[in-house]
Amino acid sequence: MQSLDALQSELLAKIAAADTEAALDAIRIDALGKKGVISEQLKSLGAMPAEERKSFGAQVNAVKQQVSDALSEKATILARAALDAKLASEAVDVTLPVPSASQGRFHPLSRTIEEITAIFADMGFSVAEGPDVESDYYNFTALNIPPEHPARQEHDTFYLKADETGARPVLRTQTSPVQIRTMEANEPPIRIIAPGRTYRSDHDATHSPMFHQCEGLVIGTDIHMGHLKGCLIEFCKAFFGVDELPVRFRPSFFPFTEPSAEVDIGCSRKDGGLKIGAGDDWLEILGSGMVHPTVLANCGYDPEKVQGFAFGMGIERLAMLKYGIPDLRTFYETDLRWMRHYGFMGHDVPALHTGIVG
C-alpha cells in the first residue's frame, strides 16, 4: 500500500495540475468520494488495533484536510478564471455612438419672451393677453389713432373682409390693444406686460408680415416719467446682462402716449460685428411714454386722477441683438439646422435665480 505521504503528494500534484472545474471535481470524487482513496483509507481504520487506529486516523484526517483545502483553493481560482473568460468573451465596441444630447429645442422667441417675463415678474408685472384679430377700435381708435390719422398709414395694416355691418377687423399691428382691454376690465393700479404676435403687410430683409411685440403698461396715481425711465433702464441692464449699459431716452411721438420717448442702448460696431454696451453708437430698442389722457378717458379712467406709462418692444429685435441672430426672416423658417444652432435645450429655462443671460 502507498504511504500516506505519497498519496498526499500525488493528490496535491493532481489538484495543482487540474485546469478545468470538471477535472477538479473528478479529483475530488477520486479522493474524497465514497469510494475515494482517502475514504478507503478511513474505512481500513476499523480493522486496526485501537492504538494504531488513533495515530493513523489522525494522519489520514490531516491528509484529508490538506487535500480538501487544496481543492477549495483551486476551485476559487478556476471559478475566477472561468468568469474572467466569460467576461472577456462579452466585450463590445464601446466606441459605437449613442445620442449624446437632448435633441429638443426651444425657439429663441419663446426663450426671449420667458426672459422678458422673468424680469418684469420681479418688478411686479403680470402677463395680459388679447386676440390677434382685433377690431379697428381697439387697434386704433381707442389708442387715440382716429381713422384719418397719418399714423395709420405708417402701420401697413392687414385687414380681413368687411362683415355685414361694413366693419373691417384688422390683424393687430401692435400689442397696444391689450392696454385698452386690460384697462377696460380692471381698476388701477395696473402693472402688465403683453407679449404676442403682431402683423404688418411688409415683407423684406428687415420686415416680416408677422412678428412679436411685448407691450407694457403701468397705471397708478403717482407713476411718473422717472419711473418709466427707471423701469426700462433696469430691464435693459437685466436683459442684456450688462451692468454699465448706457441707456438714452429721446423725445418721439406715439399717438397713445404723451410725452413719448424712444429708448436707445449703447453699442459699438466693429468689423461688421455689434457689441451691446458702452460704445460710440446707439441702437433704438423700444418706444415708450406716459399714457395719453385721451386713452385713459377712452378706458373710463379719470386722467385727472390716474396716470402711468406704457412701452412696446420688438421681441425679434431684442433676440437678434442679444443672441447675435443676423436675419429676421430665419425666425419663421423652421430650419432644423438653424434651430439646433440658435435654439435652447430643455434644461435651460431662464429664471432670475439661475440667470437669464443665455
Partner 1 sequence: MKFTWNWLQDHLETSHSLDEILEILPMIGLEVEEVDNPAMRLAAFTVAEITSAERHPNADKLQVCQVNTGTETIQIVCGAPNARQGLKTVLAVPGTHIPGLDITIKEGEIRGETSCGMLCSASELGISEDHDGIMELPADAVVGTAAAQAAGIDDIMIEIAITPNRGDCLGVRGVARDLAAAGYGTLKPLDFSDEEGSFESTISWAVETDDAAACPIVTGRMFRGIENKPSPAWMQQRLTAIGQRPIDVLVDITNYVMFDIGRPLHAYDADKIAGDRLVIRNAKDGESLTALNEKTYDLDNEMIVICDENGPDDIAGVMGGDRTGVSESTTNMFLEIAIFDPIAVALTGRKLNLNSDARYRFERGLDTDGPTAFSGYIARMVKQLTGAEASHIVTAGAGVPTQDPIAFAPSGVKSLTGVDVPEARMKEILEILGFGVDTTDAASWQVTPPSWRPDIHGKADIIEEIIRIHGYEHLPMLSLPRDEMIAKPSVSKLQRRTNYLRRALVARDYVEAVTFSFMKDEDAVLFGGGDEALRLANPISADLNMMRPTILPNLLQATGRNLRRGSTDLSFFEIGPVFHGVPADQQFHICCGVRQGRGRVADWRHSNEMVSVYDAKADLLNALSAIGVSVDNLQITNEAPDYYHPGRSGALMQGRTILGYFGEIHPSIAKHFDVKGACVGFELFFQRVPTPKDKGPAKPLLALNALQALSRDFAFVVDKTVTADALMRAVKAGGKPFVSSVNIFDVYEGDKMEDGKKSVAITVTIQPQKATLVDAEIVQISDKIIASVAKNCGGVIRG
Under rule CB under 8 A, which residues in 194-213 are in contact with partner 1? 197, 199, 201-203, 209-210
Touching partner 1, residues 275-334 (CB under 8 A): 290, 292-293, 307, 331-334
Distance CA 277, CA 76 (A): 72
Quote the least distance from Cβ 270 to partner 1, whole Å: 21
Give the nearest distance from C-beta 149 to partner 1 in angstroms: 7
Q: Which long-range contacts (CB under 8 A, 24 or more apart) does 15-23 make?
A: 15/67, 15/70, 15/71, 15/74, 16/70, 16/74, 18/74, 18/78, 19/78, 20/78, 21/75, 21/78, 21/79, 21/82
- With contacts defined by CB under 8 A, how many residues of the chain interact with partner 1? 93
Among 10, 122, 184, 327, binds partner 1 (CB under 8 A): 122
For residues 87 and 327, the answer to whether their CB atoms sit within 8 Å is no
Contact indicator for 311, 232 with CB cutoff of 8 Å: yes
CA distance 36 to 27: 9
State how far Cα 328 lies from the chain centre.
Answer: 23
Q: How far is the CB of 142 from partner 1 (least distance, A)?
A: 15
Is residue 75 a contact residue for partner 1 (CB under 8 A)?
A: no
Closer by beta carbon to partner 1, 64 or else 105: 105
Which of 126, 355, 357, 358 lies at the binding interface for partner 1 (CB under 8 A)?
126
Name the β-bridge partners of 288: 261, 311
CA-based nearest residue to 135, from 169, 174, 181, 179: 169
According to CB under 8 A, which residues from 145 to 174 bind partner 1?
148-151, 153-154, 158-163, 168-169, 171
* 21 vs 132 by CB, closer to partner 1: 132
Can residue 260 be called a binding residue for partner 1 (CB under 8 A)? yes
Residue-wise burial string across 94-115, b where 16 or more C-beta atoms lie within 10 A, e elsewhere: eeeeeeeeeeebbbbbebbbbb
339 sits near partner 1 (criterion: CB under 8 A): yes
Considering the rule CB under 8 A, would residue 51 count as an interface residue with partner 1?
no
Q: CB under 8 A: which stretch of 2-10, 24-32, 41-49, 251-259 binds partner 1?
A: 251-259
Q: Is 124 in the site for partner 1 (CB under 8 A)?
A: yes
Instruction: Name which of 28 and 105 has its Cβ closer to partner 1.
Output: 105
Instruction: List the one residue from 36, 120, 239, 310 that touches partner 1 (CB under 8 A).
Output: 120
Contact flag: residue 39 with partner 1 (CB under 8 A): no
Binds partner 1 by CB under 8 A, chosen from 4, 26, 233, 242: 233
Are 217 and 120 within 8 A, CB to CB?
A: no
